[in-house]
């Protein structure tokens, strides 16, 4: 009896979750947060799906990218005692019990090593992994039943594949060793490009693999301020910021391997003015068949050559749409991009444009952004947010023009 009741409650929770996401009004984000990591991650995905939800709804759900920090803090000492490697305890001489920051999967503390080096220690919250994996398993089961009962659900962006995708990258994020791997992958790309495409302002923190493991990560304490903190005190000059876009853009469009979560809290500006990428666990790959059409799209926009920009997006579809749909697509895009060349990000947010563009491209041009396209879109939304908050007078895409030329010439695009 108890089991039946519990399954009943789970089913109701599952249904309520999707109702919160799909209903017209704002979703109850606090309730979603309480349902755990899986619910948070799925909400973050739906927030980027204007092809499935209204643009207003997406905007509201995007708050979940910032909200993710309110999980109650745990007994860090106990986690460290039970889970940190022996070598960790031998190396740490001072540990700050007050967290430096708390976020969705972990918590960060300052510490000092016996060698005198200043470090930060990131700890994954103890029960996350188990609960997350249990929740994924349950949701899979319910999805399968729901699909059996209502086959048309299968068409809603292939829910099982989506769930697999979330499971895959969240599981990677929950293993902190992936941060060391991700950091060194990005760093070796930088080194390989040192001649063709120097990124002199980019740096990565030093990691300490010998005293880290899946649950506990030790890295260099980077003295400086996160971009998020810089926004508050107006210290980000435009010339300086555009160098960050040049760097990140080169990874996204030129290399196709990039920091998958480069929001302003994940980049520190150090004392020498370098951009230090942190939280390097979520490396994303965009295959050329996704990144190249997007690159050409922005290239077209930067020259205010709208038709070639719209044509470029057709490269995301399996085949060229029939004439009638093509005309509808271009008419719709022309409407969305009316007056584009004259508008600053303050007048026309790139995020809104991107959401409308995704929607039109999927609906009218049969484009498929794939699971790989969305991390790029998300990155652009982060940048847009950063610019709106610091330099709303700028025409971002036009300003990116010289960098786009450089990507084409020096990163061997095409
Ligand atoms: N190496 C570091 N040096 C200084 N501050 C750091 C460092 N790593 C993290 N932080 C601070 O802690 C915050 C959260 O760290 P992050 O690695 O992004 O964890 P999370 O996965 O929880 O987002 C950062 O936004 C930054 O303020
Ligand atoms: Mg972070």
Pair (296, 383) in one structural domain: yes
Alpha-carbon distance of 310 to 319, in angstroms, equals 15
Please give the share of the chain, as a percent, with pLDDT higher than 90.
55
The residue that leads in pLDDT, 188 or 74, is 188
Largest CA distance in the chain: 70
* 401 burial level (CB within 10 Å; 0-12, 13-18, 19+): middle
Residue 157 in domain: no
- Nearest CA, atom 20, ligand 1: 103
Query: Which helix H or strand E contains 37, and what residues bound it?
Result: helix 37-46
Residue 248 CA, distance from chain mean position: 13
Sign of CA dihedral 8, 13, 18, 19: positive
Pair (21, 119) in one structural domain: no
Task: Please give the average per-residue pLDDT across 260-269, as a whole number.
Answer: 91
Alpha-carbon distance of 345 to 61, in angstroms, equals 21
Query: How many independent structural domains does the chain possess?
Result: 3
- Residue 227 beta carbon below 6 angstroms from any ligand 1 atom: no
The closest ligand to the CA of 122 turns out to be: 1
- Residue 178 beta carbon below 6 angstroms from any ligand 1 atom: no
Residue 161 in domain: no
Task: Please give the average per-residue pLDDT across 321-342, as a whole number.
Answer: 94
Q: For residue 370, give the nearest of 317, 295, 309 by alpha carbon.
A: 317
φ/ψ of residue 151, rounded to 5: -55, -25
Residue 191 in domain: yes
Pair (242, 317) in one structural domain: no
Residue 389 in domain: yes
Q: Provide the mean pLDDT of the chain.
A: 89
Residue 372 in domain: yes
Q: Which atom of ligand 1 approaches the CA of 107 most closely?
A: 22
Q: Dig out the tokens for 249 from the structure.
A: 């853009």
Q: Of 252, 283, 314, which one is at a domain's C-terminal end? A: 283
- Nearest CA, atom 1, ligand 1: 221
Helices 159-174 and 128-149, axial angle in degrees (round to 10): 180
Residue 168 in domain: no
Pair (350, 390) in one structural domain: yes
pLDDT value, residue 155: 52
Pair (232, 106) in one structural domain: yes
Note the pLDDT tens digit of each residue in 59-100: 898 888 765 554 455 578 888 999 999 999 999 999 998 888
Q: Of 235, 257, 283, which one is at a domain's C-terminal end? A: 283
pLDDT value, residue 71: 40
The residue that leads in pLDDT, 7 or 247, is 247
Angle formed at CA 202 by CA 407 and CA 270, multiple of 5 degrees: 145
Q: Which atom of ligand 1 approaches the CA of 179 most closely?
A: 17
Pair (226, 213) in one structural domain: yes
Note the pLDDT tens digit of each residue in 133-148: 999 999 888 888 877 8
Residue 37 CA, distance from chain mean position: 15
pLDDT value, residue 394: 94
Residue 33 CA, distance from chain mean position: 18
pLDDT value, residue 381: 83
Strands 101-102 and 216-220: unpaired
Strands 216-220 and 118-124: antiparallel
Pair (322, 279) in one structural domain: no
pLDDT value, residue 70: 40
End-to-end CA distance of the chain: 63
Residue 305 in domain: yes
Pair (249, 334) in one structural domain: no
Is residue 413 within 8 Å of residue 253, measured between CB atoms? yes
pLDDT value, residue 234: 82
Alpha-carbon distance of 410 to 376, in angstroms, equals 21
pTM score, whole prediction: 0.88
Contacts of 336 by beta carbon, 8 Å cutoff, 6+ apart = 353, 356, 357, 360
- Residue 100 beta carbon below 6 angstroms from any ligand 1 atom: yes
Pair (279, 290) in one structural domain: no
Alpha-carbon distance of 374 to 382, in angstroms, equals 12
Q: Of 283, 315, 336, which one is at a domain's C-terminal end? A: 283
DSSP annotation of 8 reads H
- Confidence band of 152 (pLDDT split at 50, 70, 90): low
Q: Dig out the tokens for 194 from the structure.
A: 């040192």
Pocket test for ligand 1, best of 64, 71, 102, 108 (most atoms within 8 A of CB): 108
Distance 403 CA to ligand 1 centre (A): 28
Report the CATH number at residue 101: 1.10.510.10
Alpha-carbon distance of 46 to 381, in angstroms, equals 14
- Output 268-272 pairs: Cβ under 8 A, ≥24 positions apart: 268/222, 268/224, 268/225, 268/226, 268/227, 269/224, 269/225, 269/226, 269/227, 269/230, 269/235, 270/203, 270/222, 270/223, 270/224, 271/223, 271/224
- Confidence band of 103 (pLDDT split at 50, 70, 90): low
pLDDT value, residue 158: 65
Alpha-carbon distance of 276 to 313, in angstroms, equals 33
Residue 318 in domain: yes
Q: For residue 178, give the nearest of 247, 122, 108, 109 by alpha carbon.
A: 122
Distance 384 CA to ligand 2 centre (A): 18
What dihedral do alpha carbons 234, 67, 169, 374 form, nearest 10°? -60
What SS3 class is residue 31? Answer: helix
Pair (267, 147) in one structural domain: no
Pair (145, 239) in one structural domain: no
Pair (365, 328) in one structural domain: yes
9-23, 196-210, 226-240: range with highest mean pLDDT = 196-210
How is the beta sheet containing 275-277 ordered, strand by strand? 202-203, 275-277, 267-270, 224-226
The parent domain of residue 48 ranges over 2-68+133-152
């Amino acid at each position: 009896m108890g089991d039946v009741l519990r399954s009943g409650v789970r089913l109701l929770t599952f249904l309520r979750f999707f109702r919160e996401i799909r209903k017209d009004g704002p979703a109850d984000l606090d309730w979603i947060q309480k349902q755990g990591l899986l619910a948070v991650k799925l909400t973050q995905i739906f927030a980027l799906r204007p092809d499935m939800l209204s643009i207003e709804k997406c905007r509201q759900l995007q708050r979940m990218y910032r909200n993710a920090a309110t999980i109650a803090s745990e007994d860090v000492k106990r986690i460290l005692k039970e889970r940190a490697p022996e070598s960790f305890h031998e190396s740490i001489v001072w540990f700050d019990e007050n967290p430096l920051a708390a976020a969705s999967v972990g918590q960060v503390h300052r510490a000092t090593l016996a060698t005198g080096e200043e470090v930060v220690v990131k700890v994954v919250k103890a029960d996350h992994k188990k609960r997350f994996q249990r929740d994924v398993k349950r949701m899979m089961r319910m999805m399968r039943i729901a699909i059996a009962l209502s086959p048309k659900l299968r068409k809603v962006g292939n829910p099982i594949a989506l769930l697999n995708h979330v499971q895959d990258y969240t599981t990677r994020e929950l293993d902190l060793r992936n941060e060391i791997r991700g950091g060194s992958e990005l760093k070796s790309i930088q080194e390989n490009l040192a001649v063709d495409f120097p990124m002199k302002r980019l740096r990565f923190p030093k990691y300490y693999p010998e005293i880290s493991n899946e649950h506990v990560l030790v890295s260099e304490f980077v003295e400086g301020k996160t971009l998020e903190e810089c926004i508050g005190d107006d210290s980000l000059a435009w010339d300086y910021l555009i160098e960050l876009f040049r760097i990140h853009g080169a990874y996204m469009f030129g290399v196709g391997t990039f920091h998958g979560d480069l929001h302003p809290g994940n980049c520190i500006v150090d004392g020498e003015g370098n951009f230090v990428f942190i939280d390097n666990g979520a490396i994303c790959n965009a295959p050329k068949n996704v990144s190249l059409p997007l690159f050409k799209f922005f290239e077209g926009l930067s020259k205010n050559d709208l038709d070639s920009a719209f044509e470029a997006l057709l490269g995301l579809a399996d085949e060229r749409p029939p004439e009638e749909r093509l005309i509808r697509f271009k008419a719709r895009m022309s409407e969305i991009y009316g007056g584009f060349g004259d508008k600053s990000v303050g007048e026309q947010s790139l995020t809104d444009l991107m959401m409308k563009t995704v929607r039109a491209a999927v609906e009218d041009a049969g484009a498929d952004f794939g699971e790989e396209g969305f991390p790029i879109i998300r990155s652009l939304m982060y940048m847009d947010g950063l610019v709106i908050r610091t330099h709303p007078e700028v025409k971002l895409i036009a300003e990116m023009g010289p960098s786009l030329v450089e990507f084409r010439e020096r990163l061997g695009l095409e």
